[in-house]
Each structure stands twice: as C-alpha cells, then as structure tokens.
Chain A
Amino acid sequence: MILGLWEGAYRVTQVVSPTSWRSWNFPAPSHVLDAALGMLEIPTGFGNPLNTPGWPRVHSDATAGRPAAHVYNSPLVIANLVSLTRLAIGFGVSILIGGFAGLAMWRWKALDDFLGPPLLGVQTLPSVCWVPMAVLVLGINENSILFVLVMGSFAAIAISLRDGLRTIPPLYPRAGLMLGAKGWRLYRYVLLPASLPALATSLRQGFSFAWRSLMGAELILIVPHRGLGYLLQSGRDFSDIAQVIAIMIVMVLIGMLADRWVFAKIQAAIQVRFGLA
C-alpha cells in the first residue's frame, strides 16, 4: 500500500516535474526491485534510468581465475551464499568459544569475577571497531572477517548463556544427584537439558550479533569472495541508491527470517516442552 503510493507519487512527479525527484537521489520501489532482480540476473523493464536495459555483468574473468573486471560480477545469489557460509563458520566458532566461556563462568565464580566485566565491555564495543585490529594482525582476508564476526558475537553468547544457566533451579541438580547422576553424567543428563531454554535464548541473541558483525566486516574488508556487505559498499561506490536499498532489504530479510523461522521456532519448541509457554 505504502509502496504503491510511493511508486505512484514517483510516476506522477516524473510526468509533472521530471527534475524534482531524481531517482539517483532516492529511488522508487520499482527501481529497488529492478536492482534486486538485476543482481539475480533477471532483467526487468521497470526503467531505472541508471541501468537500463538489464544489468551489466561480466562472467568470463572469474571462471578463468583472473580477478573480476567489473564490480557487478557478484550477483545476489553468490553474495548470499558467501555471506551465509561465513556466517555458518563464524557463528559456529562463536558458539563454541562463547558456549565454553559461558559454561566456565557459570561453573567457576572466580572466573566469572575475572572475565565477566571485560566480556560485558567487549559486548558493548561495536563490532566494526575490531576491524582495524583484524587488518593489522590478520591482514585483509577471510580470517579477518571471521575474526570480526566472532569477536562481535561470542561475548553476547557467553553472557546470555551464563545468565540463563544461573536460572536453572538448584532443585534439578539436587534431584539428579539424589538419583545417582554424578560427575559428567550430571552435566550430560541434567544440566545440559536443563540449560536448553538458556541455550536457545543465547543462540538467538548471538545470531543477531553475528549477522550485524558480519555485514559490518564485509562492508569494510574487501576480499576476493564477495558477500552482501560488499554489494552494499559497491552500490555506494557507484552511487547506485537502488542497489544500496535493495541490499539493505535483503540483509534485513535474512536477519528477520533466520530469527523468526529458525531461532524463535527452536526457542518456542523448547519452551513448549518445558511448559514455559
């Protein structure tokens, strides 16, 4: 509805006074859609004056192993795959580090006193602030992007996991001990399942941190494999406002869908099981 009015207003303005609304300053919805579909290699005829007809692209160089000659060589699908692969690897590492840190801080009070405040500090640090350090220490490569992602999200996972573990009723380990679950069995059969709601919450929180960190890192660190953040930056470089907005929408959509369809679903399933919902 809003989009329809917006598009309509644009079309009317173009007829009445073509100079008052320039599509390269602010696009109409059709331009954004055109940019998005163009990046998917589906040319449309909506008439974005910047890139009609279709989308300029060069493929041959990449397959020949030479650096791509043209910025528009990364269609949306490839960028998504690249970003999601990085996310999977980085988020996985982040879960491992954050998980162990959270568990250890919950288990040992002294460690919590020691690590807790710095971790909270790390969590408040915007993740792109890790970029300079990543560049100097690791160089501009995949590792530095993953580094930024991990540093941006593991603290959030550790802290929310620790806080969640603290809410496990002490009655559960007591009951477990009474029933003969000692040592690692207490962890495996009582504390681990009891911590599932906390784990789900921390994953959900960790994901949104990880996604934001990754987009920031990709935006700044330009490496051979081009992710969504790179497409956003190239849109800026080529003053293509339609592309910028299209990419932002894709980022929001992915973040939202992952949260709604994956993490919220996991959380809801666990809460139903535990009778919390």
Chain B
Amino acid sequence: MRATIPLQSEMPKSSDPAPLARTRGRLRLDHVTRLFNGSADHGVQDISMTCEPGEFVVVVGPSGSGKSTLLNLAAGMIGPTSGTIDLDGQPVREPGPDRSMVFQDHGLFPWLSAAQNIEFGLKMSGMPRTERKDRVAEALRLVHLSDSAGKLIHELSGGMRQRVAIARALVLDPAVLLMDEPFAALDAQTRTLMHAQLQELWGQTRKTIMFVTHSVGEAVRLADRIIVLHAHPGRIRKEIRVALSHPRNFDSADINQLVRQVRKEIEDEVNRVNRSTADAYWKPETPADMGNDPGVMGGGI
C-alpha cells in the first residue's frame, strides 16, 4: 500500500474549488471559556483566535491544555461556558457537516464499507444516489483509495483508515476541516506519508484546517500558524507564524530549526505541569541542546 502513495501530487488538480473556499471558512473563537466541573484544571480559558479562510492552523500543547476541548467547541459537540464561536458569521451551536471532523481513532463505522462510510454524510444530507456515487468516487480518488472502495474498515490499514476518514470529511465540502490528532496512532513512516498527502489535499482543496496535535514536528511541518497552549486550564501561550512555503520538504534545516524552537516552548510548559504534579524528588529538566533564538523564528526563507 505504501509504495502506491505518490509523495507529491502526481494527479491532475481536481476542478478548482479554491475561489469558493477562499470566501468561506473563517472560524472565529472570541473569548471562549469552557471549564469542566467548575474546576480551572480542565478545559480552556479565554481563548480568542481566528482561522482565516484557507489557512492551516495547528494547535499544539501538552496534555491537559484543552486541545481537544477547543476542537470540540469548534465542532459544536460541546458549548462554551462563555464567549462566542462563529463560522463565517454564523454562530456555532451544534455539530454539522460544514465543520467536519477527523478523529484520532478515525470513528469510521465498522458496519459499512469504505465507500459507504464516505457516502454516509451525503446520504444524510438527502443527496440523490447517482450524484452520491460520483462524489464518493471522486473522494476515493482524492485519497488514492479507489481500489479499496468495497473493503470493510477492519480490512484497511491504519493509514488507509485515516484516509477514508479524511475523505469522509472532505466529501461534504465543509467550510472548515477539524482534525483531532488524526495521525497520532500511526507508525512514523505512515505518518510522514500522511503528512505529505494532507499537504497535497490541502493544496488542492484549500480548506481552512484546524489541526490539533501534541507533536511539534507535525505542527511545524503542516502549519501556516501554530498556536501553543498553556495547560490547566488551556490558554493561548504563543502564536507562531510559519512562513515556510508549501509544499514543504520535511527534512529541511529550516523545519528542524523551527521544531527545536517550538519544542522549547512546549518543553517548559510540560515541565511546569509535571513539576506541579510530581513529588519533590523529581526535577524535570529542559535538555541543554534545545536552542532558543526567537530572532530566526520563521525566518531564513
């Protein structure tokens, strides 16, 4: 399966949805707070951020920083305690196909085949069967899974499952694509392939993407903008614009440099969290080789 995935786009660009996509897909969170059980330890506090149309925003932070909470808020799975969330001016109140989501554990329905999973959202929207068929076939082509259309989910590899999940989300032509650590459960090689594929997909569709991860490398590889979160409760600690051009060469020195810088940011935060929860005899240290020079952040291109 791995050999058949083209690393960079070898296929003709699909009929260009970019002009439409550019005008929709502005996801705005305005002073959003969501705490669980009234405790300031869980959830997010006073988050204000905007994902511009066609922008690839990666939210990164240690566990407990409310990354997934943020995504669930944007999806409308949960409501904010205070603050507002809107998509293109429309307030977000409930889950809907205009903000489709890719879950870490794919969330594909095991009783349906790959193609039927992709078709599901279209079926729910009441689209006629013949049109659904075409859209599904196109989505399968987009993720290079045309040959696996009839397979059941458990017959697919981890990477293939995530590609089906991405196709299932994209086929609805959402304004925003929300991705909740979608590649965290994959092995390193597959993850790299998925990064390349996601870049390619994003290049073709120009969807607004809000991507949550705890992996700094992943964030720097993919993002236009990285938002680093504090933990307990989640707050925005820093925004980093990644001014590297797409598609990116993941091995380039620029990327590695940036990864080190962002990792430093996170490392401090992880250590702060660990220190607050560990006993007095454990002193987590920041590794000495982590350079921190904000002057070159995103620069040198």
* A189 pairs with B110, CB closer than 8 A: no
Distance to closest chain B CB from A174 (angstroms): 6
Q: Does A15 contact B (CB under 8 A)?
A: no
Q: Does B124 contact A (CB under 8 A)?
A: yes
Known: A172-B109, A175-B107, A178-B100. A275 touches B124 (CB 8 A): no
| A193 vs B123: C-alpha distance when bound (angstroms) | 16
Known: A178-B75, A189-B120. A171 touches B154 (CB 8 A): no
* B153 pairs with A275, CB closer than 8 A: yes
Q: Does A220 contact B (CB under 8 A)?
A: no
Distance to closest chain B CB from A116 (angstroms): 25
B-side contacts of A196, CB under 8 Å? 111
Known: A179-B100, A179-B120. A174 touches B111 (CB 8 A): no
Interface size class of A (residues with CB under 8 A): 10 to 19
What total of A-B pairs shows CB separation below 8 Å?
63
| A185 vs B123: C-alpha distance when bound (angstroms) | 11
B-side contacts of A178, CB under 8 Å? 75, 77, 95-97, 99-101
Distance to closest chain B CB from A165 (angstroms): 15
Q: Which residue of B lies closest to A274 (CB)?
A: B110
| A209 vs B236: C-alpha distance when bound (angstroms) | 58
Q: Does B172 contact A (CB under 8 A)?
A: yes
| A190 vs B107: C-alpha distance when bound (angstroms) | 11
- Interface readout for A125-145 with B: 1 if CB under 8 Å, 0 if not? 000000000000000000000
A-side contacts of B124, CB under 8 Å? 179-181, 185, 189
A-side contacts of B107, CB under 8 Å? 171-172, 174-175
Identify which of B97, B103, B105, B111 gathers the most chain A CB atoms within 10 Å of its CB. Answer: B111
Identify which of A172, A178, A275 gathers the most chain B CB atoms within 10 Å of its CB. Answer: A178
Q: Does A149 contact B (CB under 8 A)?
A: no
Q: Select one of A171, A180, A185, A194 contacting B111, CB under 8 A.
A: A194
Q: Does B158 contact A (CB under 8 A)?
A: no
A-side contacts of B77, CB under 8 Å? 174, 177-178
Known: A171-B105, A172-B109, A194-B111. A180 touches B154 (CB 8 A): no
CB-contacts of A149-208 with B (<8 A): 169, 171-172, 174-175, 177-181, 185, 189-190, 193-194, 196
A-side contacts of B14, CB under 8 Å? none
Q: Which residue of A lies closest to B171 (CB)?
A: A179
Q: Does A66 contact B (CB under 8 A)?
A: no
- Interface readout for A251-264 with B: 1 if CB under 8 Å, 0 if not? 00000000000000
| A181 vs B95: C-alpha distance when bound (angstroms) | 10
Distance to closest chain A CB from B158 (angstroms): 13
* A193 pairs with B109, CB closer than 8 A: yes
B-side contacts of A194, CB under 8 Å? 109, 111
| A180 vs B95: C-alpha distance when bound (angstroms) | 8
* A273 pairs with B111, CB closer than 8 A: yes
Known: A189-B124, A275-B110. A180 touches B96 (CB 8 A): yes
Q: Does B37 contact A (CB under 8 A)?
A: no
Q: Does B5 contact A (CB under 8 A)?
A: no
CB-contacts of B171-193 with A (<8 A): 172
Q: Does B144 contact A (CB under 8 A)?
A: no
* A274 pairs with B120, CB closer than 8 A: no
* A171 pairs with B103, CB closer than 8 A: yes
Q: Does B15 contact A (CB under 8 A)?
A: no
| A172 vs B109: C-alpha distance when bound (angstroms) | 7
| A181 vs B155: C-alpha distance when bound (angstroms) | 25
- Interface readout for A30-71 with B: 1 if CB under 8 Å, 0 if not? 000000000000000000000000000000000000000000
A-side contacts of B111, CB under 8 Å? 193-194, 196, 273-274
- Interface readout for B103-131 with A: 1 if CB under 8 Å, 0 if not? 10101111110000000110111000000
Q: Which residue of A lies closest to B97 (CB)?
A: A180
Can you identify 22 A-B contacts, CB atoms within 8 angstroms? Answer: A171-B103, A172-B107, A172-B109, A175-B107, A178-B97, A179-B121, A179-B124, A179-B168, A180-B97, A180-B121, A180-B124, A180-B125, A180-B172, A189-B120, A189-B123, A193-B112, A194-B109, A194-B111, A273-B110, A273-B111, A274-B111, A275-B153
Binding site for B on A (CB under 8 A): 169, 171-172, 174-175, 177-181, 185, 189-190, 193-194, 196, 273-275
Binding site for A on B (CB under 8 A): 75, 77, 94-97, 99-101, 103, 105, 107-112, 120-121, 123-125, 152-155, 168, 172
| Beyond known contacts A169-B105, A275-B153: 6 more, CB 8 A cutoff | A175-B108, A179-B120, A193-B109, A274-B110, A274-B154, A275-B110
